[in-house]
Amino acid sequence: MTKLSVNINKIATLRNSRGGDLPNVVQFAKDVQRFGAEGVTIHPRPDERHIRYQDAYDLKPEVYTEYNIEGNPIPKFIEMVLAIKPTQVTLVPDSISAITSNAGWDTIKHKDFLVEVIQEFKMNGIRTSIFVDPDVKQIEGAKETGADRIELYTEAFAHQYSLGNRDAIKPYAACAELSNTLGLGINAGHDLSLDNMKFFKENIPGLLEVSIGHALISESLYLGVENVIQMYLQRLK
């Protein structure tokens, strides 16, 4: 069964909008795990506009499932990850101005940089994943970096699926098949939702983990967090 990791950035955004500590991100992480989530994901950015670096430290003793920290490996990020030692670090090439992640790595152009960063994390016992577009050349490049896994950037699939284009899954399936052949684990995330999750899962062989944030929190406003987590788990069976 594919694991569900809940991205709690949106909870931090809501908290920060009022300047207090409500909702509390640590308590929310405890709750989603209690409701059945098999991991907690955070994505701190340099301006700390949602998850703060201190949140990453505060969450460490409370995440007893899988702890996944995403982000651009700038020096401050690398220092934090090495201090916390989460289950997994997912490398994402965010620009500072990006509202949300909007592209995967060019694993060929940035190979030397990625190799160096990944070696450091792996020496410290941290599983590594690279955020990539659904391009088989980028999957081959990811293998050359020494990464343990790739995370497929699924925004294009989600958009096309909403328009009725089921063929949008094809490049993702091809990348998954190649990843399995190369011995790369497969994660996925970005705009996956209750509407498209089952179809995506059924067509991606070897899918190990999905990281769901914006859609899950939005759906929970109507359906409730505990209920929505169980609905995702059903689709991932």
Query: d(Cα 1, Cα 237) in Å, to the nearest integer?
Result: 5
175, 36, 219, 2 alpha-carbon torsion, rounded to 10°: 10
The whole-angstrom separation of Cα 195 and Cα 102 is 21
Active-site pick, 38, 66, 70, 219: 70
- Residue 170: CB partners within 8 Å, gap ≥ 6? none
Bond prior to 23 in cis (omega within 30° of 0): yes
**Cα separation of 139 and 179, whole Å?**
7
SS3 58: helix
Q: Give the active site residue among 38, 66, 151, 190.
A: 190
Q: Which of 43, 66, 151, 219 is catalytic?
A: 43
Spatial neighbors of 86 by CB under 8 A, at least 6 apart, are 60, 63, 67, 68, 69, 126
Residue 48 near residue 15, CB atoms below 8 Å? no
Catalytic annotation on 190? yes
In this structure, what token pair is assigned to residue 16?
């920060």
Residues written for the chain? 237
Residues annotated as catalytic (active site), given as ranges: 43, 70, 190
